[in-house]
Amino acid sequence: MSNNHLIVGLGGTGGKIIRQIKKTIERNKDADGVSVSDARFDFLYIDTSSDELDKRDEWKVLGKDIELDRGQVAINTASNIRPVLDDPGSFPGMKGWIEPRAIFDFVKPGIAGAAQRRKLGRMVFAQNAPKFVKAIEERVHDLQAQGKTGVTIHVVCGLAGGTGSGSVVDAVAQIRHQLPEHDKYRILIYAFLPEKNSKRVKDVAGFSNYYANGYAALAELNAMAVGKYHPINLLDGVPMAHDVYFNGCYLINNVNEHGIQFEVESELPTIVAEFIYQKTLNKAWEGLNRAEKGENDIINFETEEDVGKARAKLFLSFGIKRVVVPEQEIKEFLAYGFAEQASRQLMFNNFRQGEGYADEAVEKDWGSEVRKPEVLQSLLLTDAHLTLDTGILDDDIKNSNWKPPQEYWKQIVSRLAPEIKADKVIEETGWIDALNTRLAKVFDDTYRTMGGVRKFYEVKGNARLDMARHIGRHIEKELFGRWKSGTASLLQLRHYTDALVLALDEKQDLFLERIAKMPSVMQGIQQRNTELSVQFNKVGFLGKHLTDKRGGLFADIATQHQDLYIARTALEGMRFATSLLPFVKEQLLTLRGKIDELHQNLAVATDQFNQERAARLGAADAAYQKRIFDMGAISAILKAMISDEISQAARTQRVRQSLINLAGVEVDSFEKLNRHISLGSIISTLSQESARIVELAHGEIAKNLPPVLHVNIVERLQKQYDANKSGLKQFVQSLYDEAGSTLVFNKTEVDRTVGGASPGVYETVGVFLPACEHQKAFRADLESEFRSQRDSASATTISVGQMPNQIVIMKVTALMPLRYTESLTYLKRHYDGLMADHNESYLLHGEGDGKKLPPLFARTATETQARGMRKPTLLLANLLQMIKQRTNRQSGLPEWVFIAMEDGMPSSKVLSGKSLQDVLETEHPIDLQKAIEKEVARKIDAEYQHIDQKTSLFRQYTELANQCFEAAGQDDQDPQFLALRSLRDPLRTLIRMP
């Protein structure tokens, strides 16, 4: 048999099950991502809303995305149905079943989904049927392209709403029409029955669509199975004609046969997902194949008088119980614990011996740190950088003409003073003016080849933002490098940046203070210069020619001019610095925002990791599984992992690098990193990398501590039960009991013999024990216990399981007509209540009002006997002239009526049917039928006591039969004649003839 499996999910329930199957598949992969099962899965999810898809956090396993691909999803939005209702002839796939069109008057623009109406659900599905058929074709093609042909299609849905319940019949029919080979393309349905007392039903006292939908869907599925309902092909409007629409339908309820209740939203989808997955994994279960093929009963249906095949025995139920060392849960517990530690390192980098990384920063005097000269130099934040004594931009740094003002003016003065003294044209008394003139020209016109000092700073002022950005990028690259190397945490960098901002504020204040003092500084220089100039001008003949006193004074004056121009340049530089600093500060604040953004995302991720870890290995076991694990051993492994500082540093570095790699190999800043990551990708990446680290770390740590991963369940049980044979026996008994079907059975119905079919069900159990080389003897004892405790009424297979960490017990109950289901009576009450409403009866069914569908409940012997007398009673009433034909006064058309005395007065009731044959075949209301029976019996008792009267009345019957025989061309096999002839003995009984 092919191992291709296509999961088709209809409605929200179908989406939940698909999600759980994908989670199950992903969680059962090994460290290399290889699945234990060789089954090939594909998926197709159909719904009228994207609600389940929008729960993106739920479509992840350890942060890994398991969302469906675009081609695996079809959201069927409800198109405007008014064009279809106004012009049904243009829509051949719908015109044959949308009548009466008035029932859709409740549909208003903006109505959500199928509004819990099956007919509307079918309408929405029909409008998107071509897309569905194409999607099925593509999914099946992709599956078969991988290997062997043939596919098992698993249709999963709920029967209570309008979407799943309203589309399941057509979905199954369209799949079968496309894939008619029912042995090669097996279709199995997994249908959630509406749970009693659902919170979705507000008025429990009335009649709810929630329950009635379930009954109507089951009635149509049953009718398909017995060949009494062939849905119209939604693509062309032609009725289909398949013998086998589906191979089996599993019924799932929220209470199992032992009264254990399951949570509908979470547990039930997981149970169904686990069952489907385990079936594909453990294939050595012959009883399952027989159950799903119905091979244990030649007659797989029940018959009903006047109906023929009435109830298919293609319905099944299942149960599953797992005893498991929850390896994936343990792995996730450890991975999330480590991920929390790693994110703390990234944020705080505060390791505490014996505890791991704390969730608070290391205290440090960051103010002193950022004021160190070497730090300011490395960050381009010295006074020299801010005043442009030293270049900031790369081109300025490379410019050989740039020298610090002190050096520059010293060089200028050192060149000009000798030139002036050597110039014979200049009188000695004119040296000071010449020096001042030339220095002023340099200051005003030629400083750094940019038109003078003021012009230089004016031009550079236009590049302040570029300089600030350069400084910001430089600092960010520096800080990012520290974080990337693991030497600094985000919070440390944030404190570092805050300290830098405060330091820049101080610098701004200091520059302003120095600028305010500069006039007095320059005035002092100017005053000293003036004093020297006076002395220079007073030098006499002797001083000039014998001692060169004037030359000495000129050198002092040149030094004062040098200091003056240094001060004037410094003033312009400080003014520039005060205008540059706000831009630099803005860049630092932006940098702090980038650091904060990453920190906040990591903080949220840390909380998420903490919550995820807390959600693992806690709470009570679900009803379908029993977990066996040593919490102390798990905690010891985690503690050993996080308390080793050297190893922890290396491991967290791997996590950090995996996060950085999301932004590419060239990333060197927080801005680039933040641009390429999100909270979701952070959680995903840290989770997955942590899981890989846990696998590696566990292998090392487990050399000295008891392992908690890759543990065989048999070994775990051996430790617990090897010396407790009585406990082992009770343990095995409990597993058989707890693997009960997800269905409560109506024992009275199960025991009844109906319609020639055998009573009871076929039950098969599969027990899958993994091999265990280290505990062969105990495994043999365990298998022996399972054999001795098995139920003799069930076909039990005990085989080698494929997964070493779990024992799986699965039970399937097959050959069930729907009447075996205990909740069917409850569903029928709501169904019957709504069927009394004309509109609701049509909205409940895909075609018509459902009154011609075979009954899901078999009649009792008393009901069968009474029903057997229905037609002869109607015929006798006709012979007694109590049922006869007349002309309707208003329409002028013939009609059939029942006439009798009521409270002493004659009354007439119109019957359905255009002919006597129609009257006999029609299911009349029970109160009318009983009234006819009562009046017929009364009249026979009152007026037909004598044998001659009885004989005369019976002769009317024989004459009617003879007339029918002649009208049929004397064909004694004519159906109408045979029907009349079959009433002979019941008629004699009613007349009470000897």
Q: Write out the DSSP string of 279-343.
A: HHH----HHHHHHHHTTT-S--EEEETTTEEEEES-EEEEEEEEEE--HHHHHHHHHHHHHHHHH
Residue type, 94: M
CB 708 within 8 Å of CB 632 = no
Residues with Cβ within 8 Å of 696's Cβ and at least 6 positions away in sequence, in order, are none
Q: How far apart are CA 431 and CA 424, in angstroms?
A: 11
Q: DSSP letters along 528-541, please?
A: HHHHHHHHHHH--H
Mean pLDDT by 10 residues, the chain (994 residues): 89 95 91 84 93 91 90 82 85 89 75 74 91 96 89 96 90 97 95 88 76 96 95 94 95 91 91 95 88 73 83 94 94 94 92 89 90 96 96 91 91 93 88 92 90 93 96 96 93 96 97 96 93 85 60 90 95 97 97 96 94 90 90 94 91 92 87 92 92 93 93 94 93 91 92 76 94 94 94 90 94 94 94 91 92 88 73 88 89 89 82 85 82 88 89 90 89 87 89 87
How many angstroms separate the most distant Cα atoms in the chain?
183
**Are the CB atoms for 818 and 316 separated by under 8 Å?**
no
Query: pLDDT value at position 162?
Result: 78
d(CA 166, CA 164): 5
Measured N-to-C along each axis, helices 926-943 and 870-879 cross at an angle, to the nearest 10 degrees, of 50
Q: Looking at the DSSP assignment, which residues form a beta bridge with residue 46?
A: 10, 74
Q: What are phi and psi of 231, to 5 degrees?
A: -60, 150
* Dist CA 466 CA 395 (whole Å): 12
Show the tokens assigned to 667.
Answer: 């990333």
Is the bond into 855 cis (omega within 30 degrees of 0)?
Answer: no
Q: What is the pLDDT of residue 203?
A: 62
Q: Which tokens in the block code for residue 879?
A: 């012979």
* Report field, pTM of the whole predicted structure over 0.85: no
DSSP 69: P
Written as one letter, the residue type at 847 is E
Residue 887, H or E segment: strand 883-887
Specify burial of residue 190 (Cβ count, 10 A radius: 0-12, 13-18, 19+).
buried
3-state secondary structure of 983: coil
Give the C-alpha separation, 18 to 154, whole Å.
Answer: 10
Measured from the Cβ of residue 605, the count of other Cβ atoms closer than 10 Å reads 25
Place of tokens 């060949």: 227
Task: Spell out the residues 6+ positions from residue 993 whose beta carbon is closer than 8 angstroms to its own.
Answer: 947, 950, 951, 954
What pLDDT is stored for residue 10 in this prediction?
95
Helix (H) or strand (E) holding 249: strand 248-252
What is the rounded distance in angstroms from the CA atom of residue 482 to the CA atom of residue 324?
A: 45
Distance (Å, whole) CA 983 – CA 166: 41
DSSP 3-state of 517? helix
Residue 300: strand pairing partners? none
CA–CA dist 923, 95 (Å, integer): 27
End-to-end CA distance of the chain: 64
SS (H, E, C) 106-162: HCCCCCCCCCCCHHHHHHHHHHCHHHHHHHHHHHHHHHHHCCCCCEEEEEEEECCCC
**Six-digit token string for 109:** 């623009």
- Residue 323: strand pairing partners: 626, 807
Asked whether the beta carbons of 505 and 585 are under 8 A apart, the reply is yes
SS3 content of the chain, % helix, strand, coil (to 5): 55, 15, 30
Q: Distance between alpha carbon 387 and the CA centroid of its chain, in Å?
A: 58
DSSP per position, 929-964: HHHHHHHHHHHHHHH--SHHHHHHHHHHHHHHHHHH
Alpha helices in 150-248 (DSSP H): 163-178, 209-225
Are 113 and 48 spatial neighbours (Cβ–Cβ below 8 Å)?
A: yes
Residue 296 to residue 812: CA distance in whole angstroms: 13
Structure tokens, 639: 């503690």
Give CA–CA dist 842/851, Å, rounded. 10
pLDDT at residue 296, as a whole number: 62
Contacts 24+ apart (CB under 8 A), 925-932: 928/898, 929/870, 929/873, 931/898, 931/900, 932/873, 932/874, 932/877, 932/882, 932/883, 932/898, 932/900
* Cα separation values, 109 from 80, 112, 129, 760, 842, Å: 8, 9, 21, 50, 21
- In three-state secondary structure terms, 194 is coil
For residues 76 and 12, the answer to whether their CB atoms sit within 8 Å is no
Model pLDDT, residue 637: 95
516: Cβ–Cβ under 8 A, 6 or more apart, which residues?
none
